[in-house]
Structure 1
C-alpha cells in the first residue's frame, strides 16, 4: 500500500504526460517555454484570480510574496504554530519576526480568536509592527478566511494565504489560493496537485504586485529586458517540463481527482466512525482537497508502537507535525519562542496521517481501518 500513490497516478496519466514531456524535449525550450504561460492562465482561471506567477517551489512563493511587500526587520508576521517549517522560516529569513499562534483543535488551522489576541498583544507591547497574517490551509482545508479577513481589515494587516496543502479546497464555492491579498501554493509531488520535482505558484488580483513578483522571481529584471536588473531578486522559475506535466495533472484534478479524494475521505469517516479516534472535521460550506487524512489518537496509544504495527501489515503512516513551530531550534533565542500554544502541543503528540490519495480503494481503506481497530 502506498501512502500517496503517485505510481498509480502516473500509470493512469502516462500517455498524456509522456507526450507532453516529449514535446518539450523536442522543442528544447526547457526554461520559460509556452507551457509555463499556458499553465499560469489555467491556474488563474481555476482559482478565480487575475494573476498567477509560477516559481521554483512553495517556499520561494512565500518568500517572493514577502519581498514584494517589503517585509523585514521589526515587522511581525502571524503564523500558525502547527504547520510545516516554511511558513515561519520565510518571514524569519527576511528579517521579520514570526509570531506563532495556536490552532483550532478540530480543523488544525489557525484559531481566529487567538490570532486577534496575538495581534492586540504585539501592538500593545510596541516592539514589532504587525504587518502580515500568514494563514495556512492545512491538510487540504482552507483556513477560516471569513473571520481572518475581518481581523486583517480591522487591524490593517496584509493576508498571505499559504495554500501549499489547500489547492482545490473551497469555502462557499470560492477556491483556495484566492483568499489572500497574495496566495501561494506548492507543486511538491505529494501535494494535491503535484509535479515531478519542485514547483510553486503565486496568486493575486493586484497588478502592481504581480509585476513585482515576476521581476523578483528572475533576478529583479526589468519587464522588457532580463539583463536590465532594477532590483535585487532571486532565481525562481518553474521548468517547462514541470509545467507540461502539471497541465495534464490539473485536467485530471479538475475532472475527477478532487471528487475522488473526497469520496475516499467519506469512506474513511464511515469505516472509522465507531472508533475512539478523533476524525478530521470539515466545516460546513468548506471543501477540503485532503492533502492528508489526519486522525487524533487517544492518549493511551503509543504512536510509535502503532506505526510499527501498521508498517508490519504493509500500511504506511506519517506524523505531521511532531514539534510545534515555536520550539524549533532555529527560533531559539528569538521572541518567536514566546508562544502560548497548548492545542498545538497536544496535537503534535496525537496526530497520525493515514494513506490518502484519489486512487485509494475501498479495500485499502477498510484494511487500514481494521488494522487501527485491532491495535488501538
Structure 2
C-alpha cells in the first residue's frame, strides 16, 4: 500500500517549480526596488504569538491553527500567517531602535491552516508578504498598494479590482463597536454560535462571517465610515488622494473588515476580475495595524502590510493566459561510446559545468541512438559525441540539435566553443 499525501498538501514538480520561482523572483526584485529587505522567521512559534497577534476571536485562531505540545510541554503552532511573526521579530531584535525608519521587510515561506482544501487554498500554502513598520503616513499605505499592483502587472495579472476601506482609529472603532452591538443584539440568536460569541468580544468579526453572510442584518449593519472621527477621516482622504495621484484605481467598500483582529485605519483586498478565475476572487489582502507591536511588548509602532498566496497568483496567471515559463533546457549533452570515452566523459562534463554551461550525460549505458533521443527530450542545444576515434584525436564531434550541423572541436577548445555558441545563437563554432 502506497503512502499518500496528507489532505491539503501538494507536490510541486519540476515543470511547475519554474512558475513558482518566477513569481518569487519578480516579487523579491520589485520589493527591493521599493527598498524592502527580506526577513526569515521560524515556521513554528509559541502559540501566544498568534492568539495575541492575530486575535482569539478570529477563525484562524479558533478553528484553523495546527497547534501541538513539544517535549517541554510548551504550546507551539505552525505559523498560519506571517505578520504576527514579523512583529514578534521586530520587537525581539529591537529593530525599532534603528535610525533608518520605517523598517520595510518582505518574506516568503510555507504557512499552515486547517481548512477545507479547494483550488488555490491548501492547508499548507506558500505566502509572500511585506510589512512596513515605523510610520503612520497614509503615503506609506499608498506605496504598499503601489508595490502590490506593480508585482501583479509584472506577472501579467492586469484584470484587477482594488477595494479599500477605513477601520478608523481606536476611538472610531469603539463608537462603531457599540453601534454594531446594538444593531445585532436583538436578533443575535438567529446567528451562528461563533457570531454569538463575537457579539461582545469583537462584533466587527460578525461582518466577516461566512455562515451568516446573507442575513438581512449584515446588509443593514452600520458602516464604519459613519463613525470615523476627524483624524481617521482625514487619514482616509489622504490615502485616496495619494492613490489618485499615483493613478491607482480603487473602490471603497465600507463592509470590508478583513479576517484578523489587528487591523485599523486602512484595510484592502485585491481581486481578480479575469473571466473564469472562480467564485473566490480575492488575490491578496492587507491593511494597517498600529497596535500590533505594542501587543508584543514593543513601543508604540505603526505598521502596514499585505500577503498573498503564490498558489492563487498562479491561478490568476492561468486565467489571464499569461505565457508561463518552461523548465530550463540543457546547453549540451555528452554522448559517450566505448569504455574509454565513457570513463572520460565525467571530466568533460565537469569542465563544461565549471564554465556555467548546463550539461548532462547518460548514466544508464544506453546505445548511441538512445542517448541522442535523451538529448532531444532534454532539449539540449547540442550533443558532444566522443568514441574511440575521438579519444585518440583528443577531439569531440559537436552536433547542433536544431540544424543538424556537426563540427570537430578539440577537447581543449570544447568549453570555449560551446560557450561562444550559447552566447551567439545556435551556430556551433
Q: TM-score, normalised by structure 2?
A: 0.21
Rg (Cα) greater in structure: 2
Q: TM-score, normalised by structure 1?
A: 0.23
